[in-house]
Every structure is written in C-alpha cells, then in structure tokens.
Amino acid sequence: MINLVNRRVVLGGLLAIIPACACRAFSQSAGYSGCWVGPSRGKASDYSNSGVSDITGESLVFKSGVDGLEAALIQTLDMLSSMFGVLPGFAYFREKSEPNAKAMSFDLLKERPDGTVLLGLKLLKELLALPEHPDAAVVAVCAHEFAHIVSYSNGYISQLTPTPQSSPFRAEQFADYMAGYFAGRRKLDRPDFPAAVFATTTGMYGGYTHGNAEQRGNAVQEGFLCAYLRKLEPQAAIQRALQFALSEEVPTVPQ
Amino acid sequence: MLGRITTIALTVTLLCCPWRAEAQEFDPRPALSTLISAFQHCGPPQAYQLLSPYLFTLVAQQTAGQGCYAPIAAAGVVTKMEVIDHATFPAGPLYIVRVTHVAGPVDWFIGFDQISSKVIYLTFQSVTGPTPSVAAGADQSANLGLVKPPKPVKPVDEPADSKSDEPADSKSASCKKFPQMCP
C-alpha cells in the first residue's frame, strides 16, 4: 500500500489555459465593460503604456472560491477553446472598481506567449446571483471573451477597430455573435441548454461602447441562429461574425 | 495514511450515461505508463503532450513547472497494470486501471478525448475498499472537493438536475425576450 500525502496544497485547482493571439483588450465602458479593445498588436510593453496598467495592480487569483466551479468550468472552457480554435490563459482577478472581464492579447500569466482571459470575481459573484441559469451567464461572459481572443488571433481586430480612436462596438458585436454561436452549438448538443440566457446576460451589460441591450442581444441571437439553424462550422461562423459586425452601424457618441 | 487520496488533475468526465461500452480495443496502459513515469521522473517533456492543454497546465501549476509528484515517485516502479473497468462517454472513453507499484496498488482513473485522444481526466486513489467502478466514480476525496462524485459534475453551463425552482427553459424570462433561441 502506498502512503500518499494529502496534496491539497499543491493542487492549485486552477484553470490557466494557454494562449494564441495578438492584440489587447480591456474595458472601460460604462457599467460592465467586458473589454476594451485597442488596435495595436499585443506586446507586454504596450500594456504598460496603454493606460490600462492599473490592471496589473488588480490581483490575479486562480481560484474563484466557489465550490465546484473550477471543475465544471474547466470543461466548458475546453469546449470554447476547441470550438474557437484558441487557447488563452485563464484566471480570475479582483476588480478595483466595477465588475468586469477582460481579454488580452498577451500572456499575463507568463505561461504561454499569446493571450489571457480574466474573469472578475465581482462579476462572477454578480452573475452567480442571477435568478435564471447563472451558470450559463458565466459561460456567456467567458464565450464573449474567448471570441475577442479569436479576433486577436486571426487579426480581425484590425478590421473591427482599425484605429486607436475606433469604437470597440464592432469588436463587441463580433464577440457577442460568437458567444451566441457557442450557445447554438451547445443547444444542438443539449436541447435543454439555456441559450437565451446568453442574450439576456450580454444585454444586461449594454452601453455605448458595447452596444445597447437590443444590439447585444441581437448579435447573440444571430450567432445562435448561425449555429443552430444554419449549422455553420466554427471557421465559417467566424467569417460570418466578422461580416455581421462590420455591417453594423457604429453608434454615435451620445451628447 | 491509507485511504488518503491524491488527485493529479481535475478535469471532469461525465460519469453519467455511458452511451456505449465498446472501448476494449483501445489500451490505456501505454499512455498511463508514460504519464506515471513522467510524474515520477519529471519528464521527458514529450510525455506531457499526452495531456489535454488544460491538464498540461494544471500539472504544470500543481508541480511548479516540474511535472513530477513526490508521492507518485515514492510509490516506486510499476510492476503491473490491469484495466478493471471502463466505459465510453460522449466525451470519450474512461478507464480505471489498477497500477501495482512496488509499494502497493493504486487505482487510476484516466479518460481520453475521443477526437484528440488526449487525456482529459486523470486522478488516482489508493486501494482501500471495494473495487472501484466507472459507474460509482472516483472516491469522494480523490478530487479534493473540487469534484463531487458519485454525483456527476457537469459542464458549468449545463442545467442542474435538481433546480426545480428554476423556470423551464422555454418559459424563462430569457426565452420570452428571445423566443428564437428557445425552439
């Protein structure tokens, strides 16, 4: 018999995925910002000069503190990674201000050279308190952030936000569309999958930069139908998401 | 202490509803042997390519990048490996392999992705009670509280079994707003 040591200490229980992309994103819109997208290609040196260096002061954490969440979420992140063809790092962070999630083109976790998705603990708590399928709401946010990683990885971000002054709106529409696509694929696998929660969740966090609730929900729904009805493969869906996002009129700045 | 259980990684297989049980042709032992050896000897690096990206990262994190586990190394040379149960799930096949080290036997649970053939589930527990089965799942403590067998852990986005107070999807508020997403 083996005398095995209890290894709770070493079992970090983390899901730090691995990355692939090029650009950065972080959010600064009103309410939940999701992610602010900058057009420059990602380098860590850009990061500190981008005006978002304060997030380095937002401590990263590798456990949510939610019982059982990591074990379950890890499967879903794996699905996202496989479906979208990207492998970003993943961790949680403690927001200094409003609830948020982030997708960055560079490897904040120093594990892989590509990109990172961060889910804020405040946002997580807020999502888990939702009355309707809070677990799906968490996945909706993760899917949105993973979709940003896709746009960095394939370079579409330069079309979605061509200049530093560009509104991130189209990048957000792209990400919402792909989140909806993921929901549609899951719905095909599991007819009871609460896909509509993706649309309402993103809509909750609407705003000027990300689009209002209707715009966001519509993008999610279009992505959903792309998967569920048209049954497009992921690469075709990504193309469709780009077309969709570019066809959307960027909202004017509210006076 | 006997009965103390160790887990290497936490990815979860769906321990419910095997849809067929025809994985006899695939032998999980070479992959498991390679991994155990790597966990004992901190390499070679290519051994870890058997792991899914998540497990790879988890192992790296759990071992501070070293890739080896002292308790597994302490178990010594493997003298025998025997598949004692298996089942095939939508995600891929899951096996329980009783691995006899010079220090004694350990039951390993190893699951493979059916598409990539990467290892997506890996845990082990010491041999203490009845012969484990896929249906029963790993011992409760094998997953250090992050997985709660025997109740299957589902992907986080799957509806829970027992939330009867939640609205049926087709009647939910979200479905009322977005009926096209609730066919």
pLDDT tens readout for residues B131-159: 887 777 665 544 322 222 223 345 566 55
pLDDT given for residue A74 in this prediction: 80
**Which stretch of A46-55, A191-200, B167-176 has the lowest confidence by average pLDDT?**
A46-55
Terminal CA-to-CA distance of chain B, rounded, Å?
54
Residue B6 lies in a domain: no
Is B17 at the interface with chain A, CB within 8 A?
no
Smallest Cβ distance to A196: which of B145, B147, B181? Answer: B181
Residue B138 lies in a domain: yes
Please tell me whether the interface predicted TM-score (ipTM) of this complex is above 0.85: no
Residues of chain B positioned with their CB less than 8 A from the CB of A3: 1-2, 4, 74, 103
Residue B71 lies in a domain: yes
B54 vs B111, residue with greater confidence: B111
Residue B28 lies in a domain: yes
> What is the tens place of the pLDDT at every residue in A125-139?
999 999 889 999 999
Is B135 at the interface with chain A, CB within 8 A?
no
Q: Do the Cβ atoms of B157 and A5 come within 8 Å?
A: no
Q: Residue B94 maps to which CATH number?
A: 3.10.450
Q: Which of residues 41-60 of B touch A (CB under 8 A)?
A: 52-54, 56-58, 60
| A7 pLDDT tier (thresholds 50, 70, 90) | very low
Query: Cα–Cα distance between A4 and B4 in angstroms, integer?
Result: 6
pLDDT given for residue B2 in this prediction: 32
In residues, how long is chain A? 255
For residue A218, pLDDT beyond 70: yes
> What is the tens place of the pLDDT at every residue in A70-107?
777 887 888 898 899 988 888 888 887 788 898 888 77
Residue B10 lies in a domain: no
Q: Which of residues 66-105 of A touch B (CB under 8 A)?
A: 67-79, 81, 87
Residue B3 lies in a domain: no
Residue B134 lies in a domain: yes
For residue B181, pLDDT beyond 80: yes
3-state secondary structure chain B: CCCCCECCCCCCCCCCCCCECCHHHCCCHHHHHHHHHHHHHCCCHHHHHHECHHHHHHHHHHCCCCCCCHHHHHHCCEEEEEEEEEEEECCEEEEEEEEEECCEEEEEEEEECCCCCCEEEEEEEECCCCCCCCCCCCCHHHHCCCCCCCCCCCCCCCCCCCCCCCCCHHHCHHHHHCHHHCC
The pair phi, psi for residue B171, each rounded to 5°, is -105, 5
Residue B145 lies in a domain: yes
Under 8 Å CB pairs connecting chains A and B tally to 181
- What mean pLDDT, rounded, does chain B reach? 71
pLDDT given for residue A110 in this prediction: 62
pLDDT given for residue A235 in this prediction: 96
| A217 pLDDT tier (thresholds 50, 70, 90) | very high
pLDDT given for residue B154 in this prediction: 53
**What letter represents residue B24's amino acid?**
Q
Smallest Cβ distance to B174: which of A72, A199, A225? Answer: A199
B100, two tokens: 């006899």
How close A163 gets to chain B, by Cα (Å)?
34
Query: Which domain range does residue B59 map to?
Result: 23-154
Smallest Cβ distance to B10: which of A67, A70, A77? Answer: A70
Residues of chain A positioned with their CB less than 8 A from the CB of B103: 1-3
> What is the tens place of the pLDDT at every residue in A41-63?
233 222 222 223 234 456 778 77
Percent of chain A with pLDDT over 90: 40
Work out how many domains chain B is built from and give that number.
Answer: 1
Exposure b/e, A178-203, CB count within 10 A at least 16 = b: bbbbbbbbbbeeeeebbbbbbbbbbb
Query: Cα–Cα distance between B61 and B39 in angstroms, integer?
Result: 13
A92 vs B64, residue with greater confidence: A92
Query: Cα–Cα distance between B101 and A159 in angstroms, integer?
Result: 57
pLDDT given for residue A234 in this prediction: 96
For residue B160, pLDDT beyond 90: no
For residue A5, pLDDT beyond 50: no
**Which stretch of A70-74, A143-147, A179-183 has the lowest confidence by average pLDDT?**
A70-74
For residue B90, pLDDT beyond 60: yes
> What is the tens place of the pLDDT at every residue in B5-21?
334 433 333 333 333 33
Q: Give the nearest chain A residue to B123 (CA atoms).
A: A11
Minimal CA–CA distance to B161: which of A147, A135, A180, A232? A135
The pair phi, psi for residue A54, each rounded to 5°, is -65, -20
